[in-house]
Amino acid sequence: MSCSLYVHVPFCERKCGYCSFFSMAGGREHIPSWLDTVKREAESYSRNGKIQLSTLYIGGGTPTYLTLTEWETLMSVIRANFGTSTLTEATSEANPSSLTHEHVSFLRDNNFTRISLGVQSLSDSELETLGRVHDSGSARRAMSLVKSSGLNLSCDLIFAVPGQTLRTWDYSLRSVMDYAGHISCYQLTLEPEAPMYSRYGGDDLNGAGYKFYRYAQYMLPRHGFGQYEISNFALPGHECRHNIAYWNHSDVIALGPSAVSYVDGVRYANPSSLEEYISGVKGEREELPPGESAIELAILSLRTKWGISRASLLPEVEYTISQMPPDLFVITPERIALSPRGMRLGNYIWSEIMLYADT
Ligand code: SF4
């Protein structure tokens, strides 16, 4: 069996103002028990080492919060339980403030191919508003460290930050283009539990995001970065294979608190609590009925530029699509995909398809 593996590292130096991912500030003393539990969980999935990994993604949280000794333990757990000689891509997320030369060398020596760096902005005042630990200088230092190592670099950027202008957005986009082959652009969204919510939660951040997104769609392709998914742009050949596996509904084993696996049509969601995870509390198991699974696949596939094959599309979903404005889609005899405008209005399209699912 071949599948992808995700490991969630739930530790960060401190909480960013907009964060609603499952992670804790500090918590270094919990790392040994988190690693022990990851080991137990990996063993429960390993099928006597018969699973060959196609992609590996270490995310979080902040994987570069781990020391090299902790990284070595993590990698030995992965190698002891899964075949890694078949990997076509291995990525670690990293934070500019904690990524060291030693981390980069370790990742390169362990056959990682990519680093995904949480740059978010090259404006110091925006980074401060977001409550990031790093400043623009450390973002540049980290990008240059990865570039000079020969590893592929992906950078995350955030738009619709309070105080952001098209000029600062353009500056951030141009700055990361000098280093990265892959750029992810996410709109700032604030969940009620995010520290920034009390200050900005009532602001119309969604409305504010449109012009920034449109600008990225205009500017990045002119510099060779094709949009291959709603939030992702890449130079040819730099698309993230691990994320493509998610959007194709391929099997993904996910280890760590809050991680969600999808194996043989069954979804397992680990508890979003380190304490519960370590003490072995079972997460939620959900077997998707075929109809729901087909709708989910349609929504996931439509996120990408490749879209979905019409042969695997439920006729009712195809009918729902036919009732929407035609310029939202690129339709060929074989496939249906979103047009650039459709990507801008993705939320509207998902809600129309989900409406069908609920009837
Ligand atoms: S680094 Fe990422 S996971 Fe950690 S607090 Fe910031 S946004 Fe959240």
Domain ranges (residues) in the chain: 2-245, 289-359
Q: Among candidates 153, 172, 61, 54, which has minimal Cα distance to 104?
A: 153
Ligand 1 pocket residue status of 19, Cβ below 6 Å: yes
- CATH code for residues 2-245: 3.20.20.70
pLDDT tens digit string along 165-188? 999 999 999 999 999 999 999 999
In the predicted model, is pLDDT for residue 205 greater than 80? no
Residue with tokens 């000689």: 85
Residue with tokens 């099928």: 47
The closest-lying atom of ligand 1 relative to the alpha carbon of residue 12 is 4
Report how far ligand 1's centroid is from the alpha carbon of 265 (Å): 30
pLDDT of residue 356: 67
Average pLDDT, rounded, for the chain: 94
The closest-lying atom of ligand 1 relative to the alpha carbon of residue 23 is 3
Choose which residue among 14, 23, 119, 196 to substitute to test ligand 1 binding: the one with the highest number of ligand atoms within 8 A of its C-beta. Answer: 23
Ligand 1 pocket residue status of 61, Cβ below 6 Å: yes
pTM of the model: 0.95
Mean pLDDT of 7-21: 95
As a 3-state breakdown, the chain gives helix, strand, coil percent values, each rounded to 5, of 45, 25, 35
Q: Among candidates 212, 149, 214, 146, which has minimal Cα distance to 180?
A: 146
Mean pLDDT of 312-325: 89
Mean pLDDT of 97-115: 97
Q: Which of 89-93, 259-263, 294-298 has the lowest mean pLDDT?
A: 294-298
Residue closest via CA to ligand 1's atom 6 equals 16
pLDDT of residue 122: 98
Choose which residue among 11, 19, 65 to substitute to test ligand 1 binding: the one with the highest number of ligand atoms within 8 A of its C-beta. Answer: 19
Q: How confident is the model at residue 101 (pLDDT cuts 50, 70, 90)?
A: very high
